[in-house]
Amino acid sequence: MPKSILLIGGPSTGKTTLINHLKTLGHPCLEEVSRDVIKKAQSEGVDQLFLEKPLLFSQLLKDARIEQFKQVTTFDADLVFIDRGIPDTVAYMDYIGQTYTEEFIQDCKTYIYDVVFILPLWKEIHQTDGERYENFEQAQEIQKHLLQTYRHYGYTPIEVPIGDVASRATFIINTLKG
């Protein structure tokens, strides 16, 4: 059974770049699902689903992340890398002060990732766009919520040093071998 290796971190920490690099190295990777949810909502006339209907947005994300979690078993590989996990959903709702159902908590306890790596905030690469609207100060708060949430659910996220994408990937692979 493949191990689920989760990459987390606030906005603009380099997760997508790292996932794309890990793919080029031949590792199976599951990409972040939030941009797809956001783009679908925008095509239906909802500009910022997370801001306008945070509980619906979070439910859609959580469900998609559960599907990704289940997909891991379908790969013929030792490791499968995933961009963001189910507890991210709770962390973001806590960040905005959104209440949520017990289902969110239970899903965080039910679907357990094997290893979690956290990418630190990196001011030099921080940028906003149509789907990423958080400024750097907001990204710092999100990062705190992510760490707090993952620790609450029993994880000890391993921090990936800032650096070029190849050295970050090497750090992760070597840590997993170690």
| Per-residue confidence (pLDDT) for residue 168, from 0 to 100 | 97
Residue type present at position 151: R
Q: How far apart are the first and last CA of the chain?
A: 19
| Per-residue confidence (pLDDT) for residue 87, from 0 to 100 | 98
Q: What contacts 68, CB < 8 A, 6 or more positions away?
A: 30, 33, 82
Q: Which residues are registered as beta bridge partners of 5?
A: 81, 115
pLDDT band at 129 (very low <50, low <70, confident <90, very high): low
Q: Which residues are registered as beta bridge partners of 6?
A: 82, 116
- 97-105 LR contacts (CB < 8 Å, sep 24+): 98/54, 98/55, 98/58, 100/55, 100/58, 104/58, 104/62
| Per-residue confidence (pLDDT) for residue 133, from 0 to 100 | 62
Three-state DSSP class for 8?
strand
pLDDT band at 125 (very low <50, low <70, confident <90, very high): low
- Number of neighbours of residue 171 by Cβ within 10 angstroms: 16
Residue spans of the domains in the chain: they are 3-177
| Per-residue confidence (pLDDT) for residue 61, from 0 to 100 | 92
Residue 80, H or E segment: strand 79-83
**Mean pLDDT across 76-100:** 95
Q: What contacts 148, CB < 8 A, 6 or more positions away?
A: 91, 94
Res 65 pLDDT > 70: yes
- The model's pLDDT over 14-64, given as tens digits with 9 standing for 90+, comes to 898 999 999 999 999 999 998 788 888 788 877 777 777 888 889 989 999
Please name the CATH architecture into which domain 3-177 falls: 3-Layer(aba) Sandwich (3.40)
Res 80 pLDDT > 90: yes
**Mean pLDDT across 127-140:** 67
Q: What contacts 143, CB < 8 A, 6 or more positions away?
A: 9, 10, 13, 120, 121
Half-sphere exposure of 171 (CA within 13 A, CB side): 16
Burial profile 69-105: b = 16 or more Cβ within 10 angstroms, e = fewer: beebeebeeebbbbbbbbbbbbbbbbbeeeebeeebe
Select from 85, 92, 56 the least CA-distant residue to 70: 85
